[in-house]
Structure 1
Amino acid sequence: MTSNVRSLWFHQASPRQFFLALLACLGLLCLSGVTQAEQFVLFDTTFTLTKEDADKTKSHYYLKDDALNPERPKDWTSPIDYRNGTVHIRMEVLEKPKGNEATTWSLCYIPYKGQKNNYGCTGSPTYKKPGVYEMDVPMTKFWENDSIIWTEGIKEMHLVVKDTSGGAGHAHKRADHEKFFPLKIRITMVQVSAGAKYDPKAVPGLDEKK
Structure 2
Amino acid sequence: MPAFAKRWGFAPGSALLEQALTHRSAAPHPHSNERLEFLGDALLNVYVARLLMDALPDAAEGTLTLARASVVDRETQADAAQVLGVPELLRLDPGGQKMGLAQQTRLLSGAYEALVGALYQEAGEAVALAFVEATLAEPLQAVIQNPATKHPKSRLQEALQAQGRKKPEYRALDSGPQQEPVTVEVLCEGTLLGTGTGRALRAAERAAALDALAHLTDTPPGRML
TM-score above 0.5, yes or no: no
The structure with the greater share of residues assigned to strand is: 1
TM-score, normalization by structure 2:
0.25
Structure having the larger proportion of residues in helix = 2
Bigger CA radius of gyration: 1
Q: Give the TM-score taking structure 1 as reference length.
A: 0.27
RCO greater where, 1 or 2, for CA within 8 Å and sep 6 or more? 1
